[in-house]
Structure 1
Amino acid sequence: MAAPLLLWGKYFQYDRAGEAVLLDPVTLESVLLDSGEVADLAGVSPTATHEALAGLGFTQDGPAADRREALHNHLHALGFDPTPQRISGLRVVLTDRCNMACTYCFVDTNTGKPDMTEEELATGLEFLFEQNAGQEEVSIQWFGGEPTIRFDLMKYGDELADTLAARYGVARVRRTVVTNGARLTDEALDHFVQREYGVGISIDGPPGINSANRLLLGGQPADDRIRRNVGRLIAAEGLHVGCNLTPTASNIGRLAETVRWIIEDLGLKFIYVNTPIPTGGEWRVNGADLARELYEARLTALGKGGMLFSVLDRAFQALDTRRPMLFDHMQGDRSLNAALLPGNRVSVCDINFTEPSFVHTVDELRQNPGLLTVAAKKVAPIPACGDCPALAICGGPSRNEQALIGGDTPDPQMCAFYTSTVAIAVWDNTGVQ
């Protein structure tokens, strides 16, 4: 994928088959030029194309902008604030016990640490509903380990959540569970249906792919069992069932094939692709290849009547709405998803349970809500960010990525991923899903 040209020190020009797209990396405004306009743009100013572009705000006059400063000014003008106001959802880590031993799991499982207690769960849920008194919705996601191992706690928590919602005037409780699908009792299935659960099944592809990294503790695959349980979930009325897909060394190069199998053979129409998380201080995937494969997988899903969401969609949404998509640690209403951990602890980053700066007790967060700000990212942390076409889409590493890579400098593969997503998105014509 050819690197874009820098036009007038301000705009990125993406050329393809004689045509071009100009992109303002700060405002995210873009314009398509046909082959004649591309040739006219290369002529001596002022040509008709120069004048037309100026009318759209693409001017060649004046010095090249300091794009990092311009982005911060743009965010201020839009009223964007990276500071969370409250916690509106909890990923509840009931146990680190698991019936599988996935090689890439970001959670330390089967360590022998105590499970969450009913008292700890009650304290965390009380805090969640306190934070959201009078709000339309809170979200609870049951997580582990394998959360269904502690289905008793899930039942207790759901009943308590109904009581707390009534007490604090919360209109709706959105419940989800992330599970490997290898165990599903009739009681659990009935419970999920009764409360209209969203169920995310972690599957990486057909048996030959899935079993490369996802095996039961005894070393045997669980694909047949998972397929049966997926069928039971799909057949149940009132459930929203989807797939959580993690890019691994086994399915990279085969993501489109994997998505086709998930939709056609497994029957799951909603697929969420997990964002690569730096392990050992670096990304473990090729960023440009991943961007291309996610796009191909997205087209495959659309062609099969499914929906695939990934971090790639940040670029699509940003370009379609002309609004920066920098603050991926927050919801649109400036609320935060956090992780409730055993021991009355909360991680303000819901996928990092160990970074000390993220983890506080419930009492500490009650007394000092300002602790939520530790999740706020530093936008465009290094000078090189100002030369990046993904400036207003990526904006540099998140606080979690900064913790994992040990500094503000983005991982090269992360940069390659985001610059590639922008190059893909400026030519995309499938629209936001």
Structure 2
Amino acid sequence: MAVPRMLWGKYFRYERAGEAVLLDPVGLDSVFIDSGEVRDLAGVPPTATHEALAGLGFTPGGPAADRREALHDRLRHLGLDAVPRRISGLRVVLTDRCNMACTYCFVDTNTGKPDMTEDELSDGLEFLFEQNAGQEEVSVQWFGGEPTIRFDLMRYGDRLADTLADRYGVARVRRTVVTNGARLTDEVLDHLVAYEYGVGISVDGPPGINSANRLLLGGRPADDRIRRNVARLVEAEGLHVGCNLTPTAANIGRLAETVRWIVDDLGLKFVYVNTPIPTAGRWQVKGADLAKELYEARLAALGRGGMLFSVLDRAFQALDTRRPMLFDHMQGDRSLNAALLPGNRVSLCDINFTEPSFLHTLDELRADPGLLAGVAKEVAPVPECGDCPALAVCGGPSRNEQALVGGDTPDPEMCAFYTSTLEIAVWDDTGVQ
């Protein structure tokens, strides 16, 4: 990816084969300039291209604004706030026991810690529904370890959720489970169908790719078993079955091939690509390579009647709506998905169960809703963010990323990913955003 040039000290200018795209990194307006207009723009103003750009709001002159401050002003103008209003969904961590030992898992599994109890689950669900009295929807996602190991708690929790929804006037409970797919009894399948579950199967590709990082505790792959269980889930009526795909060293370079296999061979039409997070203090993949691969994989899915969602969509959505897409820790209604942990604890970040600043008891959250601000993103925390074309799409590291890298300076590969993602988005002409 080429470094974009600046125009008038205000706009990023992406050039390709004599053509260009101008991008306002704060307002997110963009405009395509063909080769003739590029030549005209190089002439002495006012040329026809200068006048046309002015009509679209692209003008030279004016104060050299601090982009970080300009973005903060825009967020205030749009009423966008990083502080969540309430917790509307819980990722319920039933157990850390797992039948697999995936090398990249962000959860410490099989540690011997106690599973969640029925009383703890009851308290957590009661909190969720009381916080959302009268709302249209709450979400409950069963998680582990491998959550189906505690299917008894899933069944108990689903029955209780229906009771609480009636009590608190919540119109709908959206239920999902994230599973490795290696364990699926008839009883579990019947339950998932009865409650119209969304099922996310964690698969990273064909057996040769999947087994690089995902093996049973005994060291054997489970791909044949997983494939049989996926087929059962896909054939069941009323289920919404998708794939959770994690980019790893084993599938980078083969993501499009992997997605074609997931859609064609597994029959899973919805693919969600997990956002890479730094482990051991740094990203484990090359950011620019990942951005390019996600775009190719997205087109591969669409070409087969599937859908692929990833962080790449944030750039598309930002350019389509002209609204910053910074607050990935929140839902569109400014509510939060948090993690319910054993011991009546809640992590405000649903993928970090250990960072002390995220952890609170249910009683603490009831007493002080302002604690939700502890997960709020600090936008553009370092001056260098003001020089980044992806300012209004990335906005710097999240609180979780800051905790993992031990500071507020973004990982270089994270920066490369977002700047590359933005360049892909400004040139995209497929019409499939």
Could you state the TM-score of these two structures normalised by the residue count of structure 2?
A: 0.99
Aligned to 2:65: 65
Aligned to 1:257: 257
Please give the alpha-carbon distance, in whole angstroms, between the structure 2 residues aligned to 1:44 and 1:151: 72
Q: Does 1:328 align with 2:328?
A: yes
Q: Does 1:173 align with 2:173?
A: yes
Aligned to 1:279: 279
Please give the alpha-carbon distance, in whole angstroms, between the structure 2 residues aligned to 1:364 and 1:383: 35
Q: Is the 8 A contact 1:378 1:399 kept in 2?
A: yes
Q: Is the 8 A contact 1:316 1:431 kept in 2?
A: no
Q: Does 1:145 align with 2:145?
A: yes
Q: Which runs of 5+ in 2 are unaligned?
A: none
Q: Does 1:357 align with 2:357?
A: yes
Q: Is the 8 A contact 1:313 1:432 kept in 2?
A: no
Please give the alpha-carbon distance, in whole angstroms, between the structure 2 residues aligned to 1:430 and 1:215: 38
Aligned to 1:187: 187
> Once the two structures are superposed, what CA deviation does each residue of 1:160-201 show, in whole Å capped at 9, x if it has no partner?
000000000000000000000000010110000011000000
Aligned to 1:267: 267
- For residue 413 of structure 1, give the secondary structure of its aligned residue in structure 2: helix
RMSD: 0.7
Residue 237 of structure 1 deviates from its aligned partner by 0.2
Aligned to 1:159: 159
Please give the alpha-carbon distance, in whole angstroms, between the structure 2 residues aligned to 1:384 and 1:217: 44
1:180-329 equivalences under 5 Å are: 180-329=180-329
Residue 64 of structure 1 deviates from its aligned partner by 2.2
Q: Is the 8 A contact 1:278 1:404 kept in 2?
A: yes
Aligned to 2:23: 23
> Once the two structures are superposed, what CA deviation does each residue of 1:197-244 show, in whole Å capped at 9, x if it has no partner?
000000000000001110000100000000000000000000000000
- For residue 356 of structure 2, give the secondary structure of its aligned residue in structure 1: coil
- For residue 213 of structure 1, give the secondary structure of its aligned residue in structure 2: coil
Please give the alpha-carbon distance, in whole angstroms, between the structure 1 residues aligned to 2:376 and 2:50: 40
1:34-183 equivalences under 5 Å are: 34-183=34-183
Once the two structures are overlaid, the 10-residue window that deviates more, 54-63 or 354-363, is: 54-63
Please give the alpha-carbon distance, in whole angstroms, between the structure 1 residues aligned to 2:260 and 2:388: 33
Q: Is the 8 A contact 1:8 1:64 kept in 2?
A: no
> Once the two structures are superposed, what CA deviation does each residue of 1:279-308 show, in whole Å capped at 9, x if it has no partner?
011111100000000011001011111000
Aligned length: 433
Please give the alpha-carbon distance, in whole angstroms, between the structure 2 residues aligned to 1:430 and 1:364: 49
Residue type matched to 1:202 in 2? Answer: S
Please give the alpha-carbon distance, in whole angstroms, between the structure 2 residues aligned to 1:247 and 1:142: 22
Please give the alpha-carbon distance, in whole angstroms, between the structure 2 residues aligned to 1:273 and 1:429: 22
Residue 429 of structure 1 deviates from its aligned partner by 2.2
Residue type matched to 2:69 in 1? Answer: E
Please give the alpha-carbon distance, in whole angstroms, between the structure 2 residues aligned to 1:89 and 1:83: 16
Q: Which runs of 5+ in 1 are unaligned?
A: none
> Once the two structures are superposed, what CA deviation does each residue of 1:135-157 show, in whole Å capped at 9, x if it has no partner?
00000000000000000000000
Residue type matched to 1:427 in 2? Answer: W
- For residue 96 of structure 1, give the secondary structure of its aligned residue in structure 2: coil
> Once the two structures are superposed, what CA deviation does each residue of 1:383-423 show, in whole Å capped at 9, x if it has no partner?
11111000000000000001001111100000000000000
Please give the alpha-carbon distance, in whole angstroms, between the structure 1 residues aligned to 2:300 and 2:280: 32
Residue 51 of structure 1 deviates from its aligned partner by 1.1
Residue type matched to 2:299 in 1? Answer: L
Residue 2 of structure 1 deviates from its aligned partner by 1.1
Q: Is the 8 A contact 1:151 1:188 kept in 2?
A: yes
Residue 52 of structure 1 deviates from its aligned partner by 1.1
Aligned to 1:410: 410
Runs of 4+ in 1 over 2 A off after TM superposition: 429-433
- For residue 187 of structure 1, give the secondary structure of its aligned residue in structure 2: helix
Residue 44 of structure 1 deviates from its aligned partner by 1.3
Residue type matched to 1:240 in 2? Answer: H
Please give the alpha-carbon distance, in whole angstroms, between the structure 2 residues aligned to 1:97 and 1:212: 21
Q: Is the 8 A contact 1:320 1:432 kept in 2?
A: no
> Once the two structures are superposed, what CA deviation does each residue of 1:112-159 show, in whole Å capped at 9, x if it has no partner?
000000000000000000000000000000000000000000000000
Residue 432 of structure 1 deviates from its aligned partner by 5.2
Q: Is the 8 A contact 1:316 1:432 kept in 2?
A: no
Please give the alpha-carbon distance, in whole angstroms, between the structure 1 residues aligned to 2:421 and 2:64: 24
Residue type matched to 1:182 in 2? Answer: A
Please give the alpha-carbon distance, in whole angstroms, between the structure 1 residues aligned to 2:151 and 2:273: 26
